[in-house]
C-alpha cells in the first residue's frame, strides 16, 4: 500500500491564487511607492519658496513612507522566491515610524495646570 501523499488539485489551485495575490499586492506597493515619491518631490519643489524647513520635513516624512512601502515590496519578493516570510525587513520598517514622529512632531496643546 502506498502511503505517499496524493496531490490535491484544490490545494494547488489555492496556492496559485495565493501567489497571484502576493504578486498583485507587490506591484501595488511598488506603484504606490513611485507615486508617493514623485508627489513628495513635486510638493517639495512647489513649497520650497514658502518655507525651507516645512518643505524639507514634509519631504523626509514622505520619503520614509516610500522606504516602508519598498520594504513591504521586498518582503513580498523574498516570499515569492523562498515561500518563507522573514521578519528582518519588517523590523527595519517598524523602526522608521518612531523616527518620523521625532522628525515631524504633531502640534500639541500647551499643558494646562490642574
Establish if 86 belongs to a structural domain.
Answer: yes
Residues recorded for the chain: 114
**pLDDT surpasses 90 at 25:** yes
Q: Tell me which residue of 62, 14, 7, 8 sits closest to 38, measured CA to CA.
A: 62
Q: How many domains does the chain have?
A: 1
Model confidence pTM above 0.75:
no
**pLDDT surpasses 70 at 88:** no
Residue 85 and residue 75 in contact, taking contact as beta carbons nearer than 8 Å: yes
Sign of the Cα torsion 2, 3, 4, 8 reads positive
Q: Which of 6-10, 55-59, 76-80, 85-89 has the lowest mean pLDDT?
A: 85-89
Establish if 7 belongs to a structural domain.
Answer: no
Work out the pLDDT band at 108, boundaries 50, 70, 90.
very low
**pLDDT surpasses 80 at 4:** no
| Structure-block grid coordinates of residue 71 | 520594504
Establish if 56 belongs to a structural domain.
Answer: yes
Amino acid at each position: 500500500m502506498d502511503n505517499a501523499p496524493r496531490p490535491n488539485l484544490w490545494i494547488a489551485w489555492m496556492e496559485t491564487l495565493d501567489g497571484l495575490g502576493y504578486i498583485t499586492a507587490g506591484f501595488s506597493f511598488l506603484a504606490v511607492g513611485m507615486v508617493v515619491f514623485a508627489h513628495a518631490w513635486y510638493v517639495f519643489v512647489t513649497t520650497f519658496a514658502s518655507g525651507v524647513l516645512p518643505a524639507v520635513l514634509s519631504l523626509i516624512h514622505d520619503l520614509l513612507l516610500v522606504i516602508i512601502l519598498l520594504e513591504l515590496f521586498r518582503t513580498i519578493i523574498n516570499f515569492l522566491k523562498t515561500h518563507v516570510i522573514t521578519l528582518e525587513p519588517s523590523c527595519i520598517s517598524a523602526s522608521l515610524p518612531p523616527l518620523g514622529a521625532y522628525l515631524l512632531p504633531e502640534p500639541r496643546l500647551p499643558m494646562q495646570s490642574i
